[in-house]
Amino acid sequence: MNRDFDGAIVMANYGLKRTYKVHRICWDMSPGTYFFEQGEQGGPTTKVKMLDYFQKNYEKKITDPKQPLFEIKQKKQSIFLPPELCILVGIPPKIRENKKIMADIRQSLFQKPDDRIKSITSVNKMIADSKEVKEWELAINIAPDEIEAKVLKRPSILGLASAAQGSGGQSLDDTNVLRQIVT
């Protein structure tokens, strides 16, 4: 369990929905027993129970006061978040290690336009055929909406030195840079 969350990126499901990197799981701490000091910098502070803090400031009721806390290391201090109020972001390490799954993910992310239309149509059909949609008598368009658009020619981007010398300079085309990053 610890390994699944070490280094994981989570998004807080309250407030500004910031993202954090989990340092470790603190099994000996919980929202029901954790207190922290709250107050203005340099002014008087009061101890606040984590359960009360989230209820008062974010109207979020923590349902399991005995759950362990995520430790998030920040510059000079650690903060602690209840997992219940966090959403796992990105691809978990166990999945990232599986080359077949990663190949399938890449294939679905980088589809050709025609294949993407087929995928969208397939998902829409599956949703339209679902029991709930039929019970609620909803009408779902299976084909995606079509719009007219003009495909623009890829521009040539030149560096400042190249532009000053005329057109004989080094191109700053992004395709080569992307090719190096992906491979």
Domain-wise residue ranges, the chain: 2-89
Per the listing, tokens 């399991």 go with 64
Calculate the average pLDDT of the chain.
82
Note whether 70 and 81 are within 8 A (CB).
Answer: yes
Q: What is the pLDDT of residue 49?
A: 92
Q: Could you tell me the two tokens for 30?
A: 């919980």
- The better pLDDT of the pair 156, 127 is held by 127
Note whether 34 and 69 are within 8 A (CB).
Answer: yes
Share of the chain above pLDDT 70, in %: 84
Q: What is the pLDDT of residue 146?
A: 85
Give 65-112 pLDDT, tens digit per residue: 999 999 999 888 899 999 999 998 887 777 788 889 888 888 878 888
DSSP H helical ranges for the chain: 2-5, 50-58, 93-97, 99-109, 113-128, 131-135, 160-165, 174-182
Which candidate, 100, 98, 76, 72, places its Cα nearest to that of 85?
72
Q: Could you tell me the two tokens for 182?
A: 């992906």
User: Is 90 exceeded by the pLDDT of residue 174?
Assistant: no
Q: How many residues does the chain have?
A: 183
Span 41-57, average pLDDT: 87
Instruction: Order across the sheet with 9-12: list the strands.
Output: 78-81, 69-73, 19-26, 9-12, 86-89
CATH of 2-89, one of 3.40.50.720, 1.10.3720.10, 3.40.605.10, 2.170.260.10: 2.170.260.10
Give 161-172 pLDDT, tens digit per residue: 554 555 555 555
Which of 65-69, 114-118, 176-180 shows the lowest per-residue confidence on average (mean pLDDT)?
176-180
pTM over 0.85: no
For strands 9-12 and 86-89, give the pairing. antiparallel
Q: How far is CA 20 from the centre of its chain?
A: 11
Which range has the top average pLDDT, 2-11, 32-41, 77-86?
77-86
- The better pLDDT of the pair 123, 95 is held by 123
CA gap 61, 55 in Å, rounded: 5
User: Is 50 exceeded by the pLDDT of residue 183?
Assistant: no
Q: Is the dihedral of CA 131, 134, 140, 142 positive or negative?
A: positive
